[in-house]
Structure 1
Amino acid sequence: RLNNEMKEAIRELIQKVVEELLQKIRTQFLQALQGRRNRFKRSQLKQAQNFDWKRTIQSNLKNYQPDLQKLIIQTPYFNARVQKHLPWEIVLCVDQSGSMMDSIMYAAICASILAALPAVNISLVLFDTQIVDLSHLAHDPVEVLLTIQLGGGTNIGQALQYCQKKIKQPHRSILVLISDFEEGASVQQMLNTTNQLNQQGCKLLGLAALDQAANPVYDSNMAQKLQERGMQIAAMTPEHLATWFAEVMQ
């Protein structure tokens, strides 16, 4: 039911937070794409970001032209890079049960911020008592999350088990659960799966639901149990997401 003006305001907020987040973690993302420089190994690949200016100056000092006051570079040197790291894999697991009705805007904004990051593979999973995998639409979750409302009960454990199967490299993976943590099915299944993911090395983030007035709306007792099993829990507005997410990725 949103009008175009409201949708544009949402997109502007998302872009603002994305830019802030990139400023905080740009170094980590670039390393994920390129690998760190190895200054002890040379490369024949001549790229500006690999340029070894110290070695180049030292090796070409004999070519200095006093009359021109210039150093003539005959042999430039470049560093190799260590083995490239795999990109981060982020699985967004978004609760769309009936109890999340007031938080759907918040979920859409947070999901869109994470989906806009470079050097990540994004999966988008929506659930109530059913599971819908919309990873192929993860590049624009605003439209997805603001137009689809499942509205049934809640089975968080089942959704986490589904997401667990999608994770290929746990130590380079982050599972983000956006929910009010009001489990309507097996609590033990939810807690056991959370514990398994944590032991496998997957980073677990629980973004607690906020209503339209930015007030936390979630089961604090259940959130505490998830936290005890390795999931970091936070109730925050999207503006604070950048700082928190950057800390996790470091």
Structure 2
Amino acid sequence: MSEDERHRRWMLALGIEDGGDGASPLSESDRRLSDALSALYGDGEDGRKGRGGLGGSAPRVAKWLGDIRQFFPTPVVQVIQKDAFERKGLRQMLLEPEFLATVEADVGLVADLVALRGVMPDRTRDTARAVIAKVVAELMTLLETRTANAIRGALDRSRRTNRPRFADIDWPRTIHANLATYQPMHRTVVPERLIGFVRRQRRIVDLDEVILCVDQSGSMATSVVYASIFAAVMASLPVVATRLVCFDTAIVDLTEELADPVEVLFGVQLGGGTDINRAVAYCEDRIERPAKAHLVLITDLYEGGDADALVDRLARLAISGVNVIVLLALTDSGRPSYDPALAAQVAALGIPVFACTPDQFPELMSTALRREDVHGWAADRDIKLVRSDA
């Protein structure tokens, strides 16, 4: 890196535009970048001088968002947006359709919009729904095929076929079998013969029932978004019966809305207290065949109700044959904040208690539906399980 480039980067980092001799090495584009950063961080912290600011108008903030999207990749834009919401109190700006139409949407923003929908003016609601629908569609595209394949069946690698489905093609063997058709000009082979795996269908007789029981307190917002999307995906599969129950101190059964995951999210009420025992009791009352039921309780276990009754109820469910799993979080980070004492009590029942990322969830559900060892599955993937002696 040249000395001039090093000097330029330090000036951008510190928010200094004057090189000291009245001249500036910053280009017009650099000045816009510096202004965009100073609008957020120019309050005397982090060495940047205090100037600019985001102001209180949606057009001004929309322009600022356009600038940061020009200069930074999407993951960085989302971090800067988060800083803006926290440092500049811009949550109120989410109620402005002009502003909302310009933000870089992610799961965190969806959670914010769901939390704010009760105070959202009518003119903003349609824009918010469109933003949520866009993120949900992207996540459905990302998660749907993998989840469906994991639940419908596992690949039987002992048998092969020359007429595989695309997802079941064994690409290394296919390429090797078609080396004679290699095209030097295009640097590829023409796959005249496909080799793939036969998918062994694991038929679930009389339909296994999956209940996702999700804590909708404020700290679980991202988990609620992901759980709702997974529930919608599973509800579309004919091999399982899926129920989605969200709770705080009240309970809302969103099973009938699962055909429209956006509608599901608008039915969630984030925030409030937590009565986990009451929610589990609701689910228990709806389980008809315990040996065919899987209860996935997604909560940080900060119980505002009767913790002892909750432990007794979970024990009773597990003894009756219900496959109970407690997820402390369903988030990209997989790093939960939870009640360690209650988590240890639940783990002592033999119930697996851990956090899970969305990428891991389809395989987890496949393992659970086959009634395989979830503890072993998690340990094999270096997922930290809560110990009963924690």
Flag whether TM exceeds 0.5 (same fold): yes
Matched, 1:24 2:154: yes
Q: After TM superposition, give the deviation of residue 150 of structure 1 in Å.
A: 4.0
What is aligned with 1:11? 140
Q: After TM superposition, give the deviation of residue 113 of structure 1 in Å.
A: 4.0
Q: After TM superposition, give the deviation of residue 234 of structure 1 in Å.
A: 2.8
What is aligned with 1:217? 337
Which of residues 357, 368, 374 is equivalent to 1:248?
Answer: 368
**Structure 1 counterpart SS, 2:326:** strand
Deviations 1:100-145 (A, max 9, x none): 2343333323433433433212222111001112221234445313
- Cα distance in 2 between the residues matched to 1:205 and 1:142: 26
Of structures 1 and 2, the one with the larger relative CO (CA 8 A, separation 6+) is 1
- Cα distance in 2 between the residues matched to 1:246 and 1:94: 19
Which segment is superposed worse, 213-222 or 155-164? 213-222
What is aligned with 1:232? 352
Larger relative strand fraction: 1
- Cα distance in 2 between the residues matched to 1:169 and 1:206: 20
Change (3 A) 1:20 1:142: farther
- Cα distance in 1 between the residues matched to 2:148 and 2:353: 23
Q: After TM superposition, give the deviation of residue 211 of structure 1 in Å.
A: 4.9
8 Å CA contact 2:140–2:233 kept in 1: the answer is no
- Cα distance in 1 between the residues matched to 2:277 and 2:350: 15
Matched, 1:172 2:285: no
8 Å CA contact 1:210–1:217 kept in 2: the answer is no
Deviations 1:22-54 (A, max 9, x none): 343875642x2xxxxxxxxxxxxxxxxxxxxxx
Q: After TM superposition, give the deviation of residue 14 of structure 1 in Å.
A: 2.4
Larger gyration radius, structure 1 or structure 2: 2
Change (3 A) 1:86 1:230: farther
What is aligned with 1:104? 224
- Count of residue pairs brought into register by the alignment: 197
Moved beyond 6 Å, runs of 4+: none
Q: After TM superposition, give the deviation of residue 93 of structure 1 in Å.
A: 0.8
8 Å CA contact 2:147–2:363 kept in 1: the answer is no
- Cα distance in 2 between the residues matched to 1:135 and 1:29: 24
Gaps of 5+ in 2: 1-112, 114-127, 156-198, 371-390
8 Å CA contact 2:246–2:253 kept in 1: the answer is yes
**Structure 1 counterpart SS, 2:314:** helix
Aligned partner letter, 1:200: S
**Structure 2 counterpart SS, 1:231:** coil
What TM-score comes out, normalization by structure 2 length? 0.46
Q: After TM superposition, give the deviation of residue 164 of structure 1 in Å.
A: 0.4
Q: After TM superposition, give the deviation of residue 196 of structure 1 in Å.
A: 0.7
Change (3 A) 1:202 1:149: same
Gaps of 5+ in 1: 33-84
